[in-house]
Amino acid sequence: MRTAGYDLVLIAPHAHDEEIAGISVRAVPRAANRIMRILHTVPLVFYRAWRERAALYHFHDPELIPIGLLLKAAGKRVIYDVHEDLKSQILTKPWIWPPLAGIVARLSRAMERLGERSFDGLVAATPQIMDIFPSARSVTVQNFPDPTELGLGGSLPYAERPPQVAYVGSLTQVRGIVEMVSAMANLPPAVPAELVLAGRFAPLGLERSVRQEPGWQRVRYLGWCARAQVAEILGAARVGLVVLHPVPNYLDAYPVKLFEYMAAGIPVVASDFPLWRRIVTEAGCGMLVDPREPRQIAEAIAWLLGNPERAAQMGEAGREAVLSRFNWDSEGRKLLRFYRTLLADDNG
């Protein structure tokens, strides 16, 4: 951001204040649970944000909408970055008591509408989300990857890679962790595949149950990994998995991991959703499956491992699609133009 003429401050859970890659990080403690996040972390985020006296505030966590409204009431410029259909997402949250989910969803939608009327601008992560917030003060900025971010220059040539299948991200039921591990158990013994997992389990009890699955014998679990470690994982993998469940929040969203796998030049096994189907089919970068069927996932993995030349071609096709189309360059320019418009209005 400094190369674009801005000083960027990030307020987020972190161990301590520091500067990372030109970004000033203002640390807040990581909450032990959701209640503490709301009662302690959110007010602390407001305090740290207020102290910055920033020209523009940009946030994406719906829990921070009240903070955005307070900052706006104090005369600040505020952008709400909408990553998902919040109402649909809440209806699928397992930790919300089902009889209350509809009420919470409606209240959350009302809060978003208040923010839509109050904030200076809204950023929609997909065209589908833009349809929910059709406003002259909105812009679609899709969260495509920066192909240079992962630093994959040291990747192994595809033909020399071990039969590793990678998944990087949150390890939850709705993101398909149970089906991924079950798929490993469905692979023929003659297919010597290993599933490499990088991420955190949520809830913690899920890890205990998943470890009891027969497919866990073929899993190497690394826990949370920094970006450099992620680059190493993807640079050695033959297949990338992104088998999220067909819940409303995912059906019309772009999965960042899909594009990161493509940028890494590895073929994907992805959920067969209409939006994702168009991307994978047009790019010719992988195979589509029913994410709730471990046997289908296993068959796709076995085919890609058994056809390395075709799999390498798919991986290269995905990388070319990211370099030519699904990348951050054009999206970042749109965001910067949006910033300049809002700040020019402020100066005017």
Give the range among 119-128, 181-190, 279-288 with minimum mean pLDDT. 119-128
- Is a pLDDT exceeding 90 seen at residue 38? no
- Confidence band, pLDDT 50/70/90 cuts, at residue 112: confident
Domain residue ranges in the chain: 2-141+328-347, 152-324
Cα end-to-end span (Å), the chain: 23
CA distance 315 to 297: 18
Q: Which residue has 């007010």 as its token pair?
A: 43
Q: What is the pLDDT of residue 222?
A: 97
Q: What is the pLDDT of residue 251?
A: 84
Q: Under CATH, which number does the domain 2-141+328-347 receive?
A: 3.40.50.2000
| Per-position DSSP letters for 139-206, written without gaps between them | EE------TTTT-GGGPPPGGGS-SEEEEES-B-TTTTHHHHHHHHHHS-TTS--EEEEES-BSSHHH
CA distance 69 to 133: 17
CA-to-CA dists, residue 56 to 68, 122, 332, 336, 345, angstroms: 11, 13, 16, 12, 12
Q: What is the pLDDT of residue 288?
A: 98
Was domain 152-324 assigned CATH 3.30.70.1230? no
Q: Which residue has 């999965």 as its token pair?
A: 255
Instruction: Tally the C-alpha atoms within 13 A of residue 157's C-alpha that lie toward its C-beta.
Output: 3
**Are 2-141+328-347 and 152-324 in the same CATH fold?**
yes
- Is a pLDDT exceeding 60 seen at residue 181? yes
Q: What is the mean pLDDT of the chain?
A: 89
CA distance 138 to 112: 14
